Amino acid sequence: MTPEQFLYHEARLLDTHRYEDWLQLFTPDATYWLPLEQDQKDPLETSSILHDDRTLLELRVKQYRHARAHARLPLARTVHQITNVSVVEENPREVRVASTMTVVEFRNEKQRLYGALVEHRLRKNGDTFAIAHKRVDLVNSEGELDGIAILL
């Protein structure tokens, strides 16, 4: 599997609500980060929209499935469009991949659109990969976000 095919696979899992399968793509030491500021360098020194480790990602997926998670019901329908995929850096263990992402969300009779620059650090795992780090820089991160209730 190429890095590009892997990113498409990840997007399909999210769009088909296969969140548990999506979670399995992450390494045990993985991080998932949505910076609050453009060009933010460190998730710990400055506030972030989201900065999860694997344990917090597991809790987030459980919340999506919880019967009383009213803020997420009904589950949003999404389409993740992944484009401009390029390998930025590669070594025998990992590949750093940059891409652009557009996500269309439809929920509660309302459609929203997100655009982002995304970076994955993919750890080689046989003929596929595992996500060691995912950074999603929303183009409107410093604007009004109105509560993101989907996984990007």
Residue type, 89: E
Q: Does residue 151 sit within a domain?
A: no
The structure tokens listed for 77 are 């329908």
Report yes or no on 149 lying in a domain.
Answer: no
CATH number of the domain at 85, please: 3.10.450.50
- The parent domain of residue 58 ranges over 3-138
For residue 71, with 0-12 CB atoms within 10 Å meaning exposed, 13-18 middle and 19 or more buried, which class applies? Answer: exposed
Q: What is the full per-residue pLDDT of the chain (152 aa) written as tens digits?
A: 999 999 999 999 999 999 999 999 999 999 999 999 888 898 888 888 899 999 999 998 888 776 666 556 677 899 999 999 999 999 999 999 999 999 999 988 889 999 999 999 999 999 999 999 999 999 987 777 777 778 88
pTM, two decimals, is 0.91
Residue 22 lies in a domain: yes
CA distance 112 to 106: 7
Residue 104: HSE in the Cβ half-sphere, 13 Å Cα cutoff: 4
Position 30 in a domain: yes
Residue 114 lies in a domain: yes
| Residue 146 included in any domain | no
- How many Cα atoms are found within 13 Å in the side-chain-facing hemisphere of 62? 6
Give how far Cα 111 sits from Cα of 64, 77, 145, Å: 19, 9, 13
